[in-house]
Amino acid sequence: MAKKTGKRIKFLKGEKLMYLLLLFIIIAIPVGKVCTQAILSESNIKVEKLRKDINKQQKYNESLNMKISELASLENVESIANELGLSYNNDNIKTVSE
């Protein structure tokens, strides 16, 4: 019996490179998309954390401003002046604005 030889497919020099490049592209695009989505998600988490921290700091600043207003009230100034034996004179009060 005669041996049956299978024909091998012969690729041209450029075809191997093209197939490898195509395979690389087919694999690289989905992997790259997943990586960029992960980075974007991580960035969004950081942004939300910063927003939360900013809101927390703003509330703290508002509470400090309220304390400043309470301490600068006329009744408080008069009571401290009386405790220290000073007299309250409205003409001597100077206001500093921001």
Distance, CA of 8 to CA of 81 (rounded, Å): 105
What lies within 8 Å, CB to CB, of 76 at 6+ separation is 70
Print pLDDT tens along the chain (98 aa): 556 666 777 777 788 899 999 999 999 999 999 999 999 999 999 999 999 999 999 999 999 999 988 888 888 888 888 888 887 777 777 777 66
The pLDDT, as a whole number, for residue 85 is 86
Residue 7 lies in a domain: no
Instruction: State the pTM of this model.
Output: 0.57
Residue 91 lies in a domain: no
Domain total in the chain: 1
Alpha-carbon 9 to chain mean position: 55
Residue 64 lies in a domain: yes
Residue 2 lies in a domain: no
DSSP 34-47: HHHHHHHHHHHHHH
The pLDDT, as a whole number, for residue 3 is 64
The pLDDT, as a whole number, for residue 52 is 98
Per the structure, the complete domain to which residue 65 belongs is given by 15-86
Question: 77: closest CA among 92, 63, 98?
Answer: 92
Distance, CA of 69 to CA of 66 (rounded, Å): 5
Residue 26 lies in a domain: yes
